[in-house]
A and B are shown apart, each in its own frame.
Chain A
Amino acid sequence: GQQLNQSPQSMFIQEGEDVSMNCTSSSIFNTWLWYKQDPGEGPVLLIALYKAGELTSNGRLTAQFGITRKDSFLNISASIPSDVGIYFCAGPMTHSGGGADGLTFGKGTHLIIQP
């Protein structure tokens, strides 16, 4: 089946530092999604990517859809305490893009920020 491998598993950084994390797959995805989960809450969509090579920003967050369609990257600039949480990459279970068949998720990157 489809598997998404996220790295790093966790990050301990100082407030103000930039953050980079990535997600790779052995199979091609036509859509890459990045979600954030705060403690006690459900995941919230941060950025959606629909085209190979696409670079999309949402405030201090920037994500890229890899050219090979087998990877994606998320960067956070000038981290602040509210960035703490778990970041997940996800993609549709079928390769037909935005179909209704559910998502497959990576195992997440835990971001911990030390003031």
Chain B
Amino acid sequence: NAGVTQTPKFQVLKTGQSMTLQCAQDMNHNSMYWYRQDPGMGLRLIYYSASEGTTDKGEVPNGYNVSRLNKREFSLRLESAAPSQTSVYFCASQALGGNQPQHFGDGTRLSIL
């Protein structure tokens, strides 16, 4: 079972370049999330999509945009990458219903020079 799949696994960008991080889940989950993880920090929520057709800002949305393409896919876009966006990005999904756990992908390691 694939679960949550993120692509690419690694990427290096130059400041000012744009990029889209892809995420797909095969568990028929309603909700999807994008987090970033920085050294010595826990994960921080960037954006989320509670259900297909909706997106909302999380704790740290500045500099990012998202698209919930369909129920399976939720992409994160950096329009003009900055060094402060160097991080590991995790996508997660969650089934409908109270107290359902979130399932995470293995992350995209993004470096911006």
Contact = CB atoms under 8 A, between A and B. Distances in A.
A115 interface: no
B42 A106 contact: yes
Interface-central residue, A1, A50, A90, A105, by most chain B CB under 10 Å: A105
B42 A88 contact: yes
B40 interface: yes
A102 B58 CA distance: 8
Nearest to B30: A100
Interface string B15-43: 00000000000000011010100001111
A90 B98 CA distance: 16
A93 B42 contact: no
Contacts of B99: 31, 48, 50, 97-98
A42 B107 contact: yes
A98 B104 contact: no
A98 B97 contact: yes
Contact of A42 (B96, B97, B98, B106): B106
Interface residues of B, number: 32
Interface residues of A, number: 28
Interface in A56-115: 88, 90, 93, 97-108
B94 interface: yes
B27 to A, nearest CB: 14
A34 to B, nearest CB: 11
Contacts of B92: 42
B106 A45 contact: no
B51 A100 contact: yes
12 contacts: A31-B99, A40-B106, A42-B90, A44-B104, A45-B102, A45-B103, A100-B31, A102-B33, A102-B35, A104-B59, A107-B42, A108-B42
Interface of B: 4, 30-31, 33, 35, 40-45, 48, 50-51, 56, 58-59, 90, 92, 94, 96-107
